[in-house]
Amino acid sequence: MRSYRARQAIHEKLGRLFKGFVGGVGPTVLPHHVVAALTKRYGIKVEYLKAHRVLKYAQKLVRGSSENGYEELPSYLYMIRRANPGTFIKLEVDEEDKFKFMFIAFGACIHGFPFMRKVVVVDGCIQRNLHRVMPDDKELAIISDRHRAIGKAIAKVYPLSSRGICTFHLHKNIVEKFKGLDTFKLVKKAATAYRLADFNALFRQIQACNPGPYNYLQKADLRMWSRVHFSGDRSEFKKPSNWMFKR
């Protein structure tokens, strides 16, 4: 219904019409789909920018807002505990009772980890709660990027473990800092070499080819990124490991 005071419907009302007509609003739906649907069903013509606002509002109606999602988080975590006995969850909020961070370790992972290779890949400062589900062990290998805060946390929480640098991050940094595909290939071979003689030969080639990556790798500490020098279990050197945690 139109009136002289409001001749064009606002995007909220159009969003409800679109949702009611289409039903689901998946990730493949685009603004031009909104234009076509409203024109076909209701004879309403809208511009692209307004169709974009209509789509965003319809998605909000289907998925809910971020605020509503966080409100449902405690109930969701409760159901996870019921469905996965032994699961450890730590939900922390700030002074205003707003979400700060969450730690979760599924019970199946906790119970199964002692029977797997003790290699863990971490991304972010998660050692605050990780030690509650995974004890320190001299056979444990923790792989991360070169962030100093992570290194300090590992040394404090897991002094018996061995720490290594994720070769994915190492290779990415070398590609960004230094040019040359040949050098990059040599670095990958050196990182995964099994014999010391092979590693030394490859490392000399890197030095002769480009001193930049050679000095960078020296500073990164050979024990941290090369399989042959690593003191711990590096069998899962290149792949995501048993668990992966994020802040």
> In this predicted model, what pLDDT tens digit does every residue of 127-179 receive, in sequence order?
688 888 888 988 898 888 878 888 888 888 899 998 888 888 888 888 888 87
Question: Do 81 and 180 share a structural domain?
Answer: no
Structural domain range at position 88: 66-115
Q: Has residue 202 been placed in a domain?
A: yes
Q: Are strands 119-123 and 99-105 parallel, antiparallel or unpaired?
A: unpaired
Tell me the pTM.
Answer: 0.61
Going by C-beta distance under 8 Å and a sequence separation of 6 or more, which residues neighbour residue 162?
A: 140, 141, 142, 230, 231, 232, 233
Residue 238 confidence (pLDDT) above 70: no
Please tell me whether residues 238 and 168 are part of one structural domain: yes
The residue type of 81 is R
Does residue 216 lie within any of the structural domains? yes
pLDDT tens-digit series, residues 189-202: 999 899 999 999 99
Structural domain includes residue 5: no
Instruction: Say whether both 237 and 181 belong to one domain.
Output: yes
Q: In this structure, is residue 31 part of a structural domain?
A: yes
Q: Are residues 138 and 78 in the same domain?
A: no
Q: How sure is the predictor about 39, in pLDDT bands with cuts at 50, 70 and 90?
A: confident
Do 171 and 104 belong together in one domain? no
Tell me how far apart the terminal alpha carbons of the chain are, to the nearest angstrom.
Answer: 50
Give the domain-ending residue among 64, 79, 105.
64
- pLDDT for 14-30, tens place per residue? 888 888 777 778 778 88
In terms of Cα–Cα distance, which of 193, 194, 174 is closest to 184? 174
In this structure, the answer to whether residues 172 and 73 fall within a common structural domain is: no
The burial of 12, by beta-carbon neighbours within 10 Å (0-12 exposed, 13-18 middle, 19 or more buried), is given as middle
| Residue 3: inside a domain | no
CA neighbor of 55 nearest in space, from 33, 85, 39, 40: 33
Q: Is the dihedral of CA 143, 144, 145, 150 positive or negative?
A: negative
Domain end among 48, 64, 80? 64
Residue spans of alpha helices (H) in 102-245: 107-112, 127-130, 148-157, 167-177, 181-192, 196-209, 211-220, 222-225
- The number of angstroms, rounded, from the C-alpha of 59 to the middle of its chain's C-alpha atoms is 24
Same domain, 126 and 231: yes
Q: Based on the domain organization, do 177 and 59 belong to the same domain?
A: no
Q: Which whole number is the average pLDDT over 89-100?
A: 89
Q: Are residues 151 and 162 in the same domain?
A: yes
Same domain, yes or no: 107 and 127: no
Q: Do residues 129 and 227 share a domain? A: yes
- In-domain check, residue 60: yes
How is the beta sheet containing 141-144 ordered, strand by strand? 162-165, 141-144, 119-123, 244-246
- Are 46 and 76 members of one domain? no
Give phi and psi for 214, each to the nearest 5: -60, -50
Is there a domain that residue 99 lies in? yes
In the chain, the number of structural domains is 3
Q: How far is CA 214 from the centre of its chain?
A: 30
Is residue 194 situated within a structural domain? Answer: yes
Given a contact cutoff of 8 angstroms between Cβ atoms, the answer to whether 243 and 235 are in contact is no
